[in-house]
Chain A
């Protein structure tokens, strides 16, 4: 058993940390207040190949796998969970094309996405359904060599950036759920204003409206009626991003609490000398370390595990544990800060609001437990 990072992984982690500390951290508050990320951050991440870490070199990716991806995501998530959210949702959408796409689809869509010139999205959720594919109301009607798409998709990350959108729709003829690649901002594609959400500001969630969107039949992803397996595997990979973003939040909680415990004084002594603060710091260290190794292992499993069901279990397990621990850690961090933690001048306040997001997106925590137990017991 070897817990060491390779030199390359260490350098990727350091490059991500350096970019996060130099360019994202100083504007973390600004991103939160303005709920948007400056374009130079996106282009900077693109120049460093951060949009293509796990994807094959032949399609413009860096070819470094999900084990490197989690290392970078942790650093971005620590500086701004909104930035990490963009990368996470992008990797979910592009991951589906990477696994299920034809050679032509991969060559067409992946290179620009890997450079960050285009940003991918994944659209399943609708106003009437969050996880149940049977309830999908968006339709795909075959007309010759084209499909005509109609419907509304809800809470879609990156819907306002140009790039490919992997979208689930019900075929009107067969009633089967199928995945399609839609080029965002094509004719008939429109979006809402970003939702005003509690945290992860800068990572935009929008509704998408499809009105007679005409796409070539070759934009069908995988096979007709193959939407659900694509959703299942895609979301499993998506949980690698959500988990590593939450790990970044744990790291931020831990770092902010340690910094404050050393800086803040009471009766001329740093508050870190008090037993209750020591307990809090130890709790944070334990939560961070346990979550870190679970997420790093999940990155490794995403690269190596062959059985989609086992991977779905591992991804759900990590996502549930780490996202819940981020909530706990952000609360402890706030406790260390006392009343100051409630103030927007302190990062603890932002981390606390961000923390709740991970446990709600891509399946709430109880849903993850259903997946984990279902695979263990062999019962749905």
Chain B
């Protein structure tokens, strides 16, 4: 069984500085999206139960080659990278086209393609669905559990007020939520072996892609302004009432 996990390189969110409400990305170390790591952990957990090969798929600038070691240390067997400077801040539709083209190109056809529900930086939550649409594959979103069987997968979807269990025919795209698992911490030996795992690197040209056609342009990216409500309460009852009216308790 071939499992592909799509992972995005993002700046380490804990180390981003905010200046004039703008995030400063300069000199910030790079990492992989946190929910993408949940997707990888789900894949590795499946691999440990069944005979499976886990491939990490990522598109971005040349730094991805180094950043992806994190995923290789955490249990992926190999990686397939599409590298080009133009992919550094590519918007969702471009990324989806690139990833879909890469998936078509892969020698070992994927049975299960996992994504994080949204990326760690902009959380647009579009790429998984777009890839499924381009490849005409079924997609299941908000996965909180995945059980893989013969030619199918049973996926639990964690929705706002309920859990839905669906069965999907493979190959399929599944996007997972952060609560699906807790990604393991890689051991020192796994980290040191990561760089020696197989990797395939291609350029967009090799996938017959033209990266000029971005469909959206980010005009501004501001941290939200939050203002405290400064509600004064005089008793515990009033506090409970205030919290209830804000739907923070008692739901």
Instruction: Using CB atoms and an 8 Å cutoff, list the residues of chain A in contact with chain B.
Output: 7-8, 10-12, 15, 18-19, 22, 47-50, 52-53, 57, 62-64, 68, 72
Contact = CB atoms under 8 A, between A and B. Distances in A.
A19 B186 CA distance: 10
Given A7-B69, A10-B29, A11-B73, A62 B185 contact: no
Given A7-B66, A8-B195, A49 B189 contact: yes
Interface string B176-207: 00000000011111011011000000000000
B194 A8 contact: yes
A248 to B, nearest CB: 17
B162 to A, nearest CB: 30
B114 to A, nearest CB: 22
B192 A64 contact: yes
Chain B at the A interface: SS class: helix
A49 B188 contact: yes
Interface residues of B, number: 15
A49 B187 contact: yes
Nearest to A52: B188
A72 B187 CA distance: 12
B69 A62 contact: no
B91 interface: no
B70 interface: yes
A302 to B, nearest CB: 16
B69 A48 contact: no
Contact of B191 (A8, A18, A52, A57): A8
Contacts of A8: 69, 191-192, 194-195
Contacts of B191: 8, 11-12, 15
A19 B185 contact: yes
Contacts of B195: 7-8
Given A62-B192, A63-B192, A11 B66 contact: no
17 contacts: A7-B66, A7-B67, A8-B194, A8-B195, A11-B191, A11-B194, A12-B188, A15-B185, A22-B185, A47-B187, A48-B186, A49-B187, A62-B188, A62-B192, A63-B192, A64-B188, A68-B188
A235 to B, nearest CB: 25
Interface string B57-75: 0000000001101100100
What are the 6 tightest A-B residue pairs by CB atom distance, in nearest-first order? A49-B188, A62-B188, A11-B191, A49-B187, A7-B66, A48-B187
B70 A62 contact: no
Contacts of B73: 11
Given A57-B189, A68-B188, 20 more contacts: A7-B66, A7-B67, A7-B195, A8-B69, A8-B191, A8-B192, A8-B194, A8-B195, A11-B186, A15-B186, A15-B187, A22-B185, A48-B187, A49-B189, A52-B188, A53-B188, A62-B187, A62-B188, A62-B192, A63-B192
A53 B29 CA distance: 23
A291 B191 CA distance: 26
Chain A at the B interface: SS class: helix
A18 B185 contact: yes
B195 to A, nearest CB: 7
Contacts of A63: 192
A44 to B, nearest CB: 9
Contact of B185 (A7, A48, A57, A64): A48
Contacts of A49: 187-189
A22 B66 CA distance: 25
B29 A48 contact: no
Contacts of B194: 8, 11
A123 to B, nearest CB: 27
A50 B29 contact: no
B66 A48 contact: no
A8 B191 CA distance: 6
Interface string B15-33: 0000000000000010000
A72 to B, nearest CB: 8
A268 B186 CA distance: 44
A62 B189 CA distance: 5
A18 B66 CA distance: 20
Contacts of A18: 185
Contacts of B67: 7
B54 to A, nearest CB: 18
Nearest to B190: A49
Most buried by A among B186, B188, B189, B192: B188
A64 B191 CA distance: 10
A171 to B, nearest CB: 39
Most buried by B among A10, A18, A53: A10
A142 B145 CA distance: 64
A34 to B, nearest CB: 25
A11 B189 contact: no
A48 B69 CA distance: 16
A44 B189 CA distance: 14
A49 B193 CA distance: 13
